[in-house]
Amino acid sequence: MALKAREIRVCLPHPALPDADWADCFELLTPRSGLSAETVARQAFERMPKWVGALMVLRNLVVRPFGLKGDPAGVAASVARVGFFPVISRSDAEMVLGFDDRHLDFRIVVLAEPSGDGKTRIRMMTLIRRHNFLGRAYLAVIMPFHKLIVASSLSRVG
């Protein structure tokens, strides 16, 4: 039986992106104990389904004429990554991924904490700071896909 994530409220500001103006967070309680945030992030993002890869290729083609990075290709090769997301910070309990672009800055905060009953509580939070109209329009267009990708990512954890 697949575990189902539930959307929970996010309080802004958040230290991972203090000037974020948009956020969402999904929580999952997994029966596996002892998961670190990095383990969760790697399970969620390192083997994305082919349909996500196809959406990212399409997205990159669409945003290129607007001067957007498309993917974090502009990030130095020496920067650690999980999937295609650059790592900003990490600890056992929290991993922060993301990068900044002309239209918006984003962070994915992955939290993993013991729930006290041999399970692990996982939270995947997306924080966004929109810089301009393009950032607001972009977020509106990708939102249905964002929610599908988060659900798919969380379904691979555990």
Mean pLDDT of successive 10-residue segments in the chain (158 residues)? 79 96 95 93 90 83 75 67 91 95 94 91 96 92 90 87
The domains of the chain are located at: 19-155
- The pTM (predicted TM-score) of the whole model is 0.90
pLDDT at position 116? 81
State the pLDDT at residue 70. 59
Residue 1: what pLDDT?
46
Dump pLDDT digits (tens) for 110-123. 999 998 888 999 99
Q: Are 26 and 8 spatial neighbours (Cβ–Cβ below 8 Å)? A: yes
Q: Running DSSP on this structure, what letter comes out for residue 80?
A: -
pLDDT in the model for residue 35: 93
Fold annotation for 19-155: Alpha-D-Glucose-1,6-Bisphosphate; Chain A, domain 4 (3.30.530)
Quick one: pLDDT at residue 64? Answer: 78
Task: Write down the pLDDT at residue 75.
Answer: 60
Spatial distance between the Cα atoms of 146 and 151, rounded to a whole number of angstroms: 9
Q: CA 47, 49, 54, 58: dihedral to nearest 10 degrees?
A: -80
Q: Residue 28, exposed/middle/buried by CB under 10 A (0-12, 13-18, 19+)?
A: buried
pLDDT of residue 74: 58
- Which residues partner with 27 through β-bridges? 6, 123
